[in-house]
Amino acid sequence: MEPKEKEHINVYLRVPLALIVVFAVISILQLIFLPQLGIGSVIFAGIYGIVIAIYYSFVRKRFRSEVLSYATNYATVQKQLLREFQIPYAVLDETGRFLWMNDAFSVLTGKDSHYQKSASTLFPEITREEIERQEKDSFSIRVDFEGRIYEAKMQRLTFSQPDHLKHGMLGMIGGKLVAMMLFDETQLTRLKKTVKDQKLVTALIYIDNYEETVETVEDVKRSLLTAIIDRKISRYFRDTDAVIRKMEKDKYFIIFQQKYLQQMKENKFSLLEDIKTTKAGNENEITISMGIGADADGYNQNAEYSRAAMDLALGRGGSQVVIKSGEKVEYYGLRGKEVARNTRVKARVKAQALREMMESKESVIVMGHQISDVDALGAGIGVYSAARELGKKCQIVLNTITTSLRPLVDGFSTENGYPEDLFINSEEALELVNEKTLVMVVDTNRPNYTECPDLLTKSKSIVVFDHHRQGSERIENPVLSYIEPYASSTCEMIAEMLQYFSERMQLTPEEADCIYAGILIDTNNYMTKTGVRTFEAAAYLKRSGADVTRVRKLLREDMMTYKARAEVVRHAEVYKGAFAISECVANDLESPTIVGAQASNELLNIVGIKASFVLTDFKGKIYVSSRSIDEIDVQLIMERLGGGGHLNVAGAQIQDETIEEVKQRVKDIIDIMIEEGEIKL
């Protein structure tokens, strides 16, 4: 019987005894003040007390018997109801061992109430470790039993024990139990899957290089080429019951059910490779980009997702599929180089747009990525020269001047006619920014990688110029974004833009040298990601006064840096016979991340090495520089590590991990990608 119930019964039984005391007190008072009435009251109180005493002695045994009978029947009814409960119910100890189960649980599992083994013998998902891991008293575990899906709702039970039971069975349990009920959710799960499978997915398909390809095809064959592309797209979606609509000559809008999306993922969107084989007199290889939106709350939201996915696909160089499901973004395809465009129309359009924005503002602040390199500095100097042409004040955010940058930075001194506050730090930039300031980000499109991320939240006028592929983390709502992954460097893009910025545009030799140095470093002396437009940009800089010999002197290294790079190469570990992994020790090095990047390039000169990875522990972060020549897409590897970049040049910045942990993660990612077929040795 519960303590509360005992207390109520005790109150009811003590009321007559309390009345005897009350009557006795009244009788005594009446004897003192009213003797005649007091005698009657004493007689009444005496008779009442005798009657109550006789009554208690008479019904005591009967009352106790009825109470015991009630308690016994109550417990029996409870036990009977629980045993015949239609929902499977069982009681476990805290280790997950069965103590008791009702009839429904016995019928379901085929075990009787004497089965006292661990629950994991029937349900592998319910282990002692899983029960102990749960912090809440009430929790659920999804289990699969004999082809059906159940939700096991668990509830921890804590009870107090009488002293005489503390050394018995309950004492061994420790006063803690776990109640478990099983709810069959097989049908519900199937219905949920059916609803999810039937949700509509929207997709956009753009032909990346339609104009460039059509120009190389004879007029009579152009319609044939278009028809072949249309047929291949229709054939790919033939078995998906899809609706395909051609919006423009090089754009398609497609709707299909979500259940077919997994099939497309499994075949790695073979349409991308199928389109590349299209030949109808065309010289160029045709590539397409696909943006897919899924798992949205409505059709409009799905369409927005597909447009955002397409922006990511084009921003990463095209020839791939991007799937956006809420905040989750997946990438497929792109096993070759980015789609390069020989036309410079886009550069001219972006140059004019940038000019209009600069004219509407009073000042410009330029910043690159953290621990800026020569490419970021050169791009910043190019923007400064453009702002100077318009008479606008321009400043460059540079928190750390590394060894490789110092010779270049020293060239922009007051003696050479440059303002004293050309280079500023993050704190100064935050004080200077206002509504009339244009913030320009170069050589990165990730907000957390910039020199001053807070600057992005304080300005609504943001421009992005970058040559790295876009990832899911990007600068939100820029007024102008010019991201071309095919470009060798941001300096190449800036050099192109400057040619269309103004007819009177003039660069000083120091500015031309700095921009030229950025191209030289990012192309590894014109050996990586070099295209026709790279040499055109270099030719423009040469005409503007860039001197190859002067640039070479500016980029020379000190002996300590050279030796440090040699040590990185000397201690490199060759993994799987094709991957060089090494560590750059930051001791006494002013810019160890630059040394790491240079060493990763050096490692590719070793026969048999297909990709290199150099890890540098610097200022509380692990910087990873990865390089490859052509066979391995290191950008995919770095994306899984939380970074990004290009097909042949990529990197990542990782916090709260050690060198050894990151090194092991790189090896694990390589193993997984080899197993999945993403990497072929």
State yes or no: pLDDT of 171 exceeds 70: no
**pLDDT score for 2:** 53
For residue 624, CA distances in Å to 24, 40, 454, 615, 634 come to 95, 105, 24, 5, 11
From CA 165, how far away is CA 159, in angstroms rounded? 12
Helix ranges (H only) for 416-479 are 426-432, 454-458
**pLDDT score for 464:** 93
Tokens, residue 194: 């059916």
348: Cβ contacts below 8 Å, ≥ 6 apart: 500
**pLDDT score for 174:** 47
**pLDDT score for 610:** 92
**pLDDT score for 75:** 62
Instruction: Return the residue matching tokens 């600057």.
Output: 455
**pLDDT score for 291:** 93
- Helix and strand numbers (H, E) in the chain are 24, 23
**pLDDT score for 251:** 93
**Three-state SS across 346-365?**
HHHHHHHHHHHHHHCCCEEE
Q: In this structure, are residues 539 and 570 in contact, taking their beta carbons and an 8 Å threshold?
A: no
State yes or no: pLDDT of 110 exceeds 90: no
541: Cβ contacts below 8 Å, ≥ 6 apart: 495, 507, 512, 515, 516, 519
State yes or no: pLDDT of 160 exceeds 70: no
In Å, how far from its chain's centre is CA 559?
A: 41
Instruction: Compute the average pLDDT of residues 520-536.
Output: 86
Q: Pick from 128-142, 196-210, 505-519 the range whose average pLDDT is largest.
A: 505-519
From CA 455, how far away is CA 427, in angstroms rounded? 10
pLDDT more than 90, % of the chain: 33
For residue 278, CA distances in Å to 160, 207, 224, 286 come to 78, 12, 11, 7
Q: What is the pLDDT of residues 242-261, one digit of tens each?
A: 999 999 888 999 999 988 99
Instruction: Compute the average pLDDT of residues 598-608.
Output: 91
pLDDT bin (cut points 50, 70, 90) of residue 586 is: confident
pLDDT bin (cut points 50, 70, 90) of residue 169 is: very low
pLDDT bin (cut points 50, 70, 90) of residue 338 is: low
Q: What is the pLDDT of residues 248-296, one digit of tens each?
A: 888 999 999 988 998 888 888 889 888 888 888 777 788 899 999 998 8
In Å, how far from its chain's centre is CA 390?
A: 41
**pLDDT score for 60:** 62
Which residue type sits at 73? N
Instruction: Compute the average pLDDT of residues 351-360.
Output: 91
**pLDDT score for 346:** 78
Q: What is the pLDDT of residues 57-80, one digit of tens each?
A: 766 656 655 665 656 665 676 667
Does the pTM surpass 0.75? The reply is no
pLDDT bin (cut points 50, 70, 90) of residue 507 is: very high
State yes or no: pLDDT of 626 exceeds 90: yes
Q: What is the mean pLDDT of the chain?
A: 84
From CA 336, how far away is CA 323, in angstroms rounded? 19
From CA 451, how far away is CA 400, in angstroms rounded? 9
Instruction: Compute the average pLDDT of residues 13-40.
Output: 72
Tell me which H or E stretch contains 624.
Answer: strand 621-628
Instruction: Compute the average pLDDT of residues 652-675.
Output: 91
Helix ranges (H only) for 530-658 are 532-543, 548-554, 559-570, 592-603, 634-640
Helix ranges (H only) for 84-133 are 103-109, 128-133
Q: In this structure, are residues 201 and 256 in contact, taking their beta carbons and an 8 Å threshold?
A: yes
Bridge-based pairing of strands 649-655 and 644-645 is: antiparallel
Of 62 and 364, the structure prediction assigns the larger pLDDT to 364
Q: Which of 588, 621, 465, 598 is nearest to 522 (CA)?
A: 598
3-state secondary structure of 5: helix
Of 176 and 146, the structure prediction assigns the larger pLDDT to 146
**pLDDT score for 600:** 92
From CA 483, how far away is CA 478, in angstroms rounded? 12
pLDDT bin (cut points 50, 70, 90) of residue 11 is: low
**pLDDT score for 547:** 92
Q: What is the pLDDT of residues 192-250, one digit of tens each?
A: 888 888 888 999 999 988 887 888 788 888 888 889 999 999 999 988 889 999 998 88
State yes or no: pLDDT of 164 exceeds 50: no
3-state secondary structure of 136: coil
Instruction: Compute the average pLDDT of residues 413-440.
Output: 92
187: Cβ contacts below 8 Å, ≥ 6 apart: none
